[in-house]
Structure 1
Amino acid sequence: MTDASPHARKRRNWPSVTGTPEQRASKGLSRLEDITRLISEWVWEADAEGRLTYASERLTEILGIIPMELYGKTFKEFGTFIGQDGEPADPDLTKPHRELKFRMMGRDGAVHLFLLSGLPFYDRDTWNIEGYCGTVEDITDTEREFDDLLRARAAADKANLAKSEFLASMSHELRTPLNAILGFAQLLEYTPNEPLTENQLDAVRQITSGGDHLLELINDVLDLAKVEAGKLHLAIDDIDMRALMDELKPLTLSIAKDRNVAYDCMDTMGYFVRADHIRLKQVLLNLLSNAVKYNRRNGTVRVDFSTAANGMLRVAVNDSGPGIPLEKQSKIFQPFARLGAEETEIQGTGIGLTISKRLVEAMGGRIGFESTYGEGTSFWVEMPLSKRREQTAQEPASKAKGFGVEDVGMSGRVIYIEDNPANVMLMQSILSHIPGVELQVAHTAELGIALIQQDPPNLVLMDINLPGMSGIEALGLLRQDAKTRDLPVVAISAAAMPRDIEKGLAAGFTSYLTKPFDVPEMLEVVKGILDKG
């Protein structure tokens, strides 16, 4: 009777298991050797003392060594085991082991690195260890690639550190002269008892505008570096969009006035969004200033608000400018791509939109645009909506930039420790207009400490990078002296990187102002301290 079942047909195709036990063992061994030739590792066996009794042909392919040359030797005799610390190790090979690092030299003198794995096998009658078997994987190339990656990472870290040091140095070296340029320009512009002619005022405003633009460039480059390094600190909170747009309105109008551009902002509908207040303001101001700068004369800028199904509030800044050519739109968020604007009189850094995109995405939002060449452009930002809604109308949070130095009522004795003559002259010029304030100047920290200890003032203003003793070191000495421990000391420094400010405040400075400082802001800090007595 013929068995025609599917299982019977399959059995007819099975390998034959007939023959003597010796023949079957020989066939099994042959198949096993075929398998060992196919796998990337080399297979080994050893006796109960760990002496090699078998190694597959893969050993010869990798090292050029004939297996029989190693028979009768232990792994420790022809190679070196490596511990996790990279130093030679002496593992116990009588126990099961997995992926032990093992170094061995080939016929050509090249050193290879392997991962050795093995386990014992036992006599079926006595259950004594009869020997060991396992595999050896060549990881030389993998380890070399890993080392290359580590070296590349170290080189990248070194380059990044060099970039950070360069940016910090650049920032400091540019901020120091800018402090004098912008400070004296503000003094000239806002000193009522010594009024300038209209032509002189225009010239001073050009100085201020140029200085502000240079400061903007410095800050933009530093911002981009921080974002790229992932070191940007964000304080996410509920942001009132009505109050934020009220803050932006006078800034936008002042830019729009120069180009006769009409500005209109629709109602914010009382919405709050989740964002960092300073950074969202920075992004929207960048979009608004771009909409004005790149607009046509007598054009319009309109801000619209709408909610999206994804739980976002969309803020769209629409302009009636020339629009962006289609072939240039793909480069709009690339750093330093001004798309031809560098050939015009319009000032810009070319990285404002790059920074805006990184900031928006870091805050969990989205940014994009639509543009029709010859008609205009609409840049939009989407930020996560907050559950909070506006209850009552908010007063505008803006304040005028103008100030009158003579109107600042305060009195006290101030010591200013600063080595830069221009900055000393600026501070003398500012405080000379305030009759109640007496100013003493020291050009080194050592001289400043001597003046302070001789007769402690009401306030100390101090630079950080001073010749000889630094401002940080001088502050430490003042804080150790019981007579000056509680003396208010304000840092005024061109070291403006976040780590510099954090270091200064952690050292114990009462406040930390960065150069170039805003004169009204500086006077506000000084007045606040002197008024407390």
Structure 2
Amino acid sequence: MLINLLGNAVKFTAQGSIILRISAKEESLGALRLVAEVEDTGPGIAEDELVRLFKYFEQTASGRQSQSGTGLGLAISREYARLMGGDITVSSKVGIGSIFRLEITVREGRESELKEDGRELRVIGLQPGKDSVPRILVVDDRLESRTLLGRLLEMVGFDVRVAENGLEAVQTFEQWRPSFIWMDVHMPVMDGLEATHLIKATELGKVTTVAAITAGALGREQEEILAAGCDDFIRKPYREEEIFELMAKYLSIKYVYETEKEEEVPVAVEVGLERLDTALPVDLRKELHKLFLD
């Protein structure tokens, strides 16, 4: 929820500042009221648009102008907040900026519940055993999303191709015959569900795994995803571990994991952008992947 609010602030604030305020107040024994405010100096939201802000598939004028997003993030975030006994509210003025306020009830943590080492081992390769390297098709209309997921899979050892819409995905499937497809749901030209339906209608498609990537997958949309022929799905934002676990489930593959924390590599000033993802320290690289795949 907070990642969504911060991501929107970054996306719509061209100049000025973004401020995050967090506070907690004890409500009862062991229960805290957690409050987070995200204030930006973006374009602001007109009063007549505020009523549509938290509705599914609705976007403000600035959202439509940016030509990004699906109008799902805020609606889903507010639903989660209300399930946790809280809410998300907003105040905004056009030309000045907006303040989004998240309130939820949380339980105070205990030291006994903390693990000594909560760091999960990172996948760094594929174990030998398969006759050929699995072919993976990544379909997403957002350049940064498909590029970063594609690079993540390539670094592990998969054979990867990308497509920017459903029509291109169908064409690539017919020509290249991947064994696994990561399919974004909401895309121009042809959406992911229609593309999946066409792929699954073929003999080869019936034995090809298609996993949907969506910001929703709640209730009706989950039913639509599975009805279109998708074998599974994950929700945005997701973690690297979720990607690899789901692929292992359907491809019957095993991974090579890091055995100890890799030594951090200092980044030289002359490192180019195309090599930056391999030059950054492992922990920072992991966080950047999470951010851009949201």
- TM-score (normalizing by structure 2): 0.49
Larger Rg: 1
Q: Which has the higher helix share?
A: 1
